[in-house]
Amino acid sequence: MIYVEKSAVNTGTVKLLDKKGIDYKIVDSDEEFEDKKSNIFVTYSRGTFLRPCPATKIYRCCNYHVFDIMEGCPFDCTYCILQSYLNHEYIKVFADTDSIERELLELNEKGRYRVGTGELSDSLALDNIFEFSGLFIPIVNKLENIQFEFKTKSSNTSNLLNLNPKNIVISFSVNTDFISKTEEHKAGDMDKRLNAAKILAEYGYKIGFHFDPIVIYDNCHKDYDNLIDKLFSSVDEQSVEFVSLSTFRCIPSLIDRIREKFDRSILTKYDYIKGLDGKLRYFKPERIDILNFVYKALRKNWRKAFIYFCMEHSTIWDKIIGYDPGERDIFENGFPWRK
């Protein structure tokens, strides 16, 4: 059910709901409905939408910027940090879309940036309702310096086929069938995600893939190899803008949250080490082993695509790829958008 806060009633977002004949209920606050994933709360503003993706100097991070138009996600992945990060289960949608263009224009003036909406939500899971793709893409395509990424686990991509793909990357979180089926509850089927990637690549969009989180389990090497073969047969390398690789890591409280919320998960079986940033991670040799495997498997066919490790130690870059990408802005120069 969609609940609209009184202050958001006259916004374009709510007018769109009216136009599409989608039911909603007007409320004074989020205390008037149950806090659960199937509820959507349309509120006015979060203040500033745009911010740099949180990073640490200890592990290598790029200079990605996030645009928080939504908080929360209809999918229910065991590993999702939002379970610990947000103080609500429902999905919050910010309707103050008038400031979107201003904030992107300001960033455009500062230099060349990559921006996306997939940090605190899935960028496209609710695109059939709120059509944020239709809002962002015409704005971004007028700007020279902004590349905009829609990151998703869905195949809810039909709106994109009526829009100009110029400065846009559609990226898909990908994982093995085992992880997708056991840990990514309610998320889109992996084959459907890859089929959507294929259609969008053919349409002209740049495509990104996020192997995140890579999860270690018996036979995971074989499963990741199979997944990579599917990627090769779905999308040509020339359409691939980037591929990110990262093993599972989390704040310590997430493991207990998983135990409280889900019946079972492969993620709680491992005795993680505490990393230099306080997050739990796989023991370093095991991270190196699986990252090296996935990297090499991708390089068999995609020799030029930009492949990067998200939040990994410089020594792991060195060991696997042979160089240290440096800190944020220097790291960022590795992306095709900055070249």
Partner 1 sequence: MRFLTVKTMKIIEIGSTDKIDKDTFNIFYRQNSQKKNPLVPAAHINGVYYLLSNFYADSKELVLLEDIKCFSDALKAVIEIGGEDYNLVDLSNIYYLIKKLDLNKNDYSVFRKNNIVNKEQFDILDRIFLLSDNFKRYIVDKDISLKVLSIVLKFNADIVKKIEEYVLKNYPSVSSFRILVNNIYDYKDEIDFKNNLEDEIERLKFKYNRKRYEFEKMIDDILKIENGITVENKNNYETCSLNINFDISSFEDFMAKLQILHNSSGKIKAAFDILKENDLC
Backbone dihedral angles phi then psi of residue 116, each to the nearest 5 degrees: -155, 165
Which range binds partner 1 by CB under 8 A, 71-79, 108-116, 242-250, 284-292?
284-292
Asked if residue 1 binds partner 1 (CB under 8 A), the reply is no
Rounded to whole angstroms, the Cα distance separating 57 from 327 reads: 7
Q: Which of residues 46, 185, 221, 259 is near partner 1 by CB under 8 A?
A: 259
Tell me if 286 contacts partner 1 by CB under 8 A.
Answer: yes
Q: Give the contact letters, 128-167, x = binds to partner 1 (CB under 8 A), - = no.
A: ----------------------------------------
Q: Output 85 or 106, the one with its CB closest to partner 1.
A: 85
Out of 238, 319, 323, 330, which residue is the one contacting partner 1 (CB under 8 A)? 319
Q: Is 32 in the site for partner 1 (CB under 8 A)?
A: no
- Which residue of 98, 191, 202, 256 would you call a contact of partner 1, by CB under 8 A? 256
The SS3 of residue 265 is: coil
Cα separation, 218 vs 266, in Å, equals 11
* Four-point Cα dihedral 252, 256, 261, 264, nearest 10: 100
Quick one: which of 61, 95, 120, 288 contacts partner 1 (CB under 8 A)?
Answer: 288
Task: Output Rg (C-alpha) for the chain, integer angstroms.
Answer: 20
From 98-106, 125-133, 224-232, 274-282, give the range in contact with partner 1 by CB under 8 A. Answer: 274-282
Subset of 200-219 contacting partner 1 (CB under 8 A): none
CA separation for the pair 241, 206 (Å, rounded):
6
275 lies in the site for partner 1, by CB under 8 A: yes
The count of other CB atoms within 10 Å of the CB of residue 236 is 13
Q: What are phi and psi of 118, to 5 degrees?
A: -90, 20
Q: Binding residue for partner 1 (CB under 8 A) from 273, 296, 323, 329?
A: 273
Give the residue ranges of DSSP H helices in 57-172.
82-85, 98-110, 127-130, 132-140
Q: Which helix (H) or strand (E) holds 236?
A: none
Q: Which residues bind partner 1 (CB under 8 A)?
A: 34-35, 256, 259-260, 263-264, 268-271, 273-276, 283-286, 288-289, 313, 315, 319
